[in-house]
Structure 1
Amino acid sequence: MRNQILTTLNCNIDSIQLKLSDFFTGKNDFETILNDRLKPVKNTQNINQKLYLHENNHFEYINLLCPYCGSKNVIKQEYRQRKLLIDDKEPLNVYLRRYLCKTCGRKFTTNIKSIIKPYKRYINLFKDKLECFLETGYRSLRKTQKDLQNFLENSPSHQTIRNWLTINNKNMIKNTERFYSGYYTYDEQFLRINGHRMYRLTLYDQIRNIPIAEQIVPKRTPQAITQFIEESTINQPLISVTTDHMPLYKNIMDYIGVKHQLCVFHLFKMIGDKLYKKLRSKKVTEREKISLCLYFTDIKNIFRTYNSKTSQKRLEKLLNDFNRIPRLLQRFIKQKIIPDYKRLTTFMENNKIPRTSNTVENYYRQTEPEQIKKKYKTKKGILTYLHYKMKNWTKKHIKK
């Protein structure tokens, strides 16, 4: 742990007071002096000002500036002692210089919020490591406590860890990014929370490649989905939404007044699942199997272009040969492709509109949905887990 502490200190301390013994012992590099001087101390800095490290863990600012009025007319006063709990050893005494602003008359003390928050027992490094653990996947509170103990030689209780992780949002989590593209994909998956079936709703920004918001609802109703999409995109552009082929989505998107793109991949998958059974059947002749594959390829080619005129010509050509098409594919053409043709080809009007919802599906896989479906007993617990997953995903995959 000491190495980690010293590494963070290197970028925060602007200068250090040398002792005569530093030259006699050969300790003339910054890291070695810090190691000898601070023993188990961690990062200290003020957000706006560099620090000066004196002997015996005394800290003060360089280039004094009043945080209240911005004046440089500041004088130094006494030191204030504070004890920091670094590991399982004795608390470390740190001395922070106090100051008086001659302009506004207010006093302030050297700020070490980046090391430890006011009135807190554990330094910020514990919480930072805790978030790193969550990036690798789900773990119980007690297992997380043990991990902290192994890595940092000390750990808060599992209840303290739970308090650190708990977020204020009860029903919905939102990304901290402020600007979105307006081109979204929407999907949902079921979860079991304390034995009850619930649904995880997700809205994903296709262009920026980040999730916007997630919510846990007991029932997948049009009112709940509509409210979720509208609340997620308040004061944000809402141009298009790509979804799978659940029938209730059509009325929802029409009510919201947004361009609706049905996922082309899901269309191919629906047809392919039915086709697979036919191709595996011994009752179907080889000639019929070849015909099924060829016409299925023709159907795919309708949507394998970004030119609407080309797509219409391919559809017309297929319809002219309709009587020769196998009945299985005829039903899909009549019941699915022709009625929903406009929604299936919305992406041809604007190449920014995603034609599949694969991005949000990939996001679900990366957040390990299969492992978390039965491990949580409260909505707050699952939303806390998803909050940190969203934060980590955004940091890694966001597109500017």
Structure 2
Amino acid sequence: MKPKNKCLLFLILDGKQYIFNYLNSDPVRKNDEKSSKSHFGENTVQFVLYIDGILDENCFINEKGVIEYHDPHCKNCFSNDLIKKSFNKRKIFLENVISVIIKVKRYLCKKCRKYSQVRLNGIYEDYCNFSVKMKNKAVKLRTRGWDSLRNITWAYSVFNDVKMSYETIRKSLLIHEGLYYLNEELKISGYVAYDVQWIRINRKWHYRHVLFDIVHRMPIAELLAKKEDSKTTKNFLKNSIQPKDCIAIVTDLKPSYDKIMRELGFAHQHCTFHLLLNIYDSISPELTKMRKKFERNLKNKELNLSDNQIKEKSKQFIEDYKSEINEYLSLIYQLFKQQTYNKAIQYINLLKRESVNFPKLLKEYMNEKFFPEYKKFIHFLEKRHKGKLDNTNNQIENYIGNTMPRAHKKKFRTMEGVFNQIMLQKNGWVEKRKQELTF
């Protein structure tokens, strides 16, 4: 194998012409005797430029300053039977943002009769003047949060004094193909959370399915789909987690999840925070009916009251009723603060006895919807799950909210654009999480 030279012999800087010496010697002026054979003109200067940052391990510099392959091959048919031709000049930007023109060798393939030239794909991609390292700065910016292509271009112009096109930046941000991600490096604990985020793209709803490891606090898998039905949920979970890892899962209170999780073998923990939200959502329409009925009765009995006075009294009536409900809800929520599963069962029996004193709307909800299935809310207190299973899905909601905030959901026009941004911010979130664990 030919030795790899680490300096560029002949190279033209954009706007000025320079020649580079192979020997690591002091710079010599053009009019000096040693450089009298320069072919670049009167203003040429000789010096050595080390290019470990330009070449990959497959390339070297020949004695004429042209970049060649150690083992030439055709990029079209991968044949090694090539004819060496002249060279092409290619403009690139170095890491210090100096614009230079390098020479890359051309080849003719004897097999497919097509031309090709040396590719620097390890450092510079085809048809791009900027290195992968320089373009990855845009990726770093997006991992910290969403920013427009205009603002990223502005950042390059300010900090690197270079004009990078929107298209170059856009392509550099495409780090993930497809709409599905699986964290193959993570060893799943078996205690997971599942949730769905709604994202509106071009006036149509799309659904981000997320599976999250509670113990390791890391995402397991993600899917951006056009549906949120049971079939999509079940297929997503089956493809993302092995049966041996299906120990326990936390979800919201969607009724269709019960059957799916039972079939997959999970102990299905319902989110206790969503229980409170569901209680409020269920009794809110009834409170509205109570308020209207109270206003009608008051209007018929107190003829001298104005409409504003009636509204103020009805508002106070509802506020008092809500306060009473909240007092009893605080007692109900004590259930999830019990130390053991057996104590939670005893507390449930106490709540059942005391439910006769609950406000009517709350009593109806507890008897119809909570007491028949209360065990789904206390799996986290069972001895085998305690300390591993959460009683809420706050972890996954925190992850979802940080990797695709509500304010950013309307900024995208394609599913691929949304998912790539999610992957970018997911990488930033995971990196930050790993840094926290090291301290």
Q: Structure 1 length normalisation: TM-score?
A: 0.70
After TM superposition, the structure 1 stretch with the greater mean CA deviation from structure 2, 291-300 or 239-248, is: 291-300
Residue 241 of structure 2 is aligned to residue 208 of structure 1: no
Q: Does structure 2 retain, via aligned residues, the 8 Å contact 1:145–1:156?
A: yes
> Cα–Cα, structure 1 residues 217 and 115, in superposed 2: closer, same or farther, change >3 Å?
closer
1:390 to 426, 433, 436: 426
Q: Secondary structure at the match of 2:344?
A: helix
Q: Which residue is equivalent to 2:114?
A: none
Structure-2 change in CA distance of 1:176 and 1:120 (3 Å):
farther
Q: Give yes or no for the alignment of 1:131 onto 2:139.
A: yes
Residue 171 (structure 1) aligns with: 179
Residue in structure 2 matched with residue 160 of structure 1 by the alignment: 168
After TM superposition, give the deviation of residue 139 of structure 1 in Å: 2.7
Q: Does 1:91 align with 2:100?
A: yes
Other-structure match for 2:369: 336
Instruction: Name the CA distance, whole Å, in 1 between partners of 2:195 and 2:176.
Output: 24
The change in CA–CA distance for 1:253 and 1:151 in structure 2 (over 3 A counts) is same
Question: Which residue of structure 2 lines up, in the alignment, with residue 75 of structure 1?
Answer: none
| SS of residue matched to 1:336 | helix
Alignment of 1:5-154 (within 5 A): 38=49, 43=53, 85-86=92-93, 89-91=98-100, 115-116=123-124, 121-154=129-162
Matched, 1:314 2:360: no
> Which of the numbers 252, 276, 282 marks the counterpart of 2:316?
282
Three-state SS of the structure 2 residue aligned to 1:309 is helix
Amino acid of the structure 2 residue aligned with 1:222? S
Local SS of the residue matching 1:283: helix
Superposed displacement of residue 259, structure 1: 1.3
Q: CA deviation at 1:140?
A: 3.2
Q: Deviations over 1:99-139 (max 9, x none)?
A: xxxxxxxxxxxx99765468864212222201111023223
CA contact (8 A) 2:143 2:426 kept: no
User: How far apart are the structure 2 equivalents of 1:234 and 1:142?
Assistant: 43
Amino acid at match of 1:379: M
What is the distance in 2 between the residues matched to 1:149 and 1:196?
A: 36
The 1-side partners of 2:409 and 2:257 are apart by 24
Q: 2:392 aligns with which of 356, 359, 377?
A: 356
Q: Verify the 8 A CA contact 2:279 2:365 in the aligned structure 1.
A: yes
Question: Which position in structure 1 is the counterpart of 2:109?
Answer: none
Asked if residue 370 in structure 1 is aligned to residue 406 in structure 2, the reply is: yes
Matched residue type, 2:335: I
CA shift, 1:273, in A, is 5.8
| Gap change, CA 1:281 and 1:113, over 3 Å in 2 | same
Partner residue in 2 for 1:240: 248
Q: TM-score, normalised by structure 2?
A: 0.64
**Whole-angstrom CA distance in 2 between matches of 1:335 and 1:126:** 61
Distance 1:369 1:296 in 2: 30
> 1:155/1:204 Cα in 2 relative to 1: closer, same or farther (>3 Å)?
farther
Q: Aligned partners of 2:265, 2:239: CA distance in 1, in Å?
A: 15
For 1:334, give the aligned amino acid.
N
Report deviation, 1:220.
1.2
Q: 1:389 to 1:175 in 2, by over 3 A?
A: farther
SS in 1 for 2:188: coil
Q: For 2:244 and 2:418, how far apart are their aligned partners in 1? A: 26
Query: How far apart are the structure 2 equivalents of 1:303 and 1:371?
Result: 33
The structure, 1 or 2, with the larger RCO (C-alpha pairs under 8 Å, 6+ apart) is 1
CA change 1:299–1:90 in 2 (3 A) is: closer
The AA in structure 1 aligned to 2:342 is K
Give the secondary-structure state (helix, strand or coil) at the position aligned to 1:197.
Answer: strand
Q: Which blocks of at least 5 consecutive residues in structure 1 are unaligned?
A: 1-16, 22-35, 48-56, 58-79, 96-110
- Partners of 1:139 and 1:284 in 2: how far apart? 45
The alignment partner of 2:343 has SS state of helix
Q: SS of 2:186's equivalent?
A: coil
Q: Are the counterparts in 1 of residues 251 and 270 from structure 2 also a CA contact under 8 Å? A: yes
**Structure 2 residue 263 is the aligned partner of structure 1 residue 255:** yes
How far the C-alpha of 1:366 sits from its partner, in A, is: 1.2
- The C-alpha deviation readout for 1:303-330, integer Å capped at 9, x for no partner, is 1124111111111112122221211221
Compared CA separation, residues 302 and 154, structure 1 to 2 (3 A): same
Q: Deviations over 1:179-217 (max 9, x none)?
A: 222211111121111221111111111111122222122
Cα offset for 1:356? 0.6
Q: Is the contact between residue 206 and residue 359 of structure 1 (CA under 8 Å) also seen in structure 2?
A: yes
| AA matched with 2:316 | K
2:417 to 381, 388, 391: 381
Contact 2:246/2:264, CA 8 A, preserved across alignment: no
Distance 1:284 1:156 in 2: 60
Equivalent residues, number: 332
Matched, 1:198 2:198: no
- AA of the residue aligned to 1:91: V
Task: Determine the structure 1 residue equivalent to 2:84.
Answer: none
Q: CA deviation at 1:331?
A: 2.0
> Displacement of 1:301 after TM fit?
0.8
Query: 1:181 and 2:182 equivalent?
Result: no
Contact 1:262/1:344 (<8 A) preserved = yes
Distance 2:244 2:430 in 1: 18
SS in 1 for 2:152: helix
Does 1:324 find its partner at 2:324? no
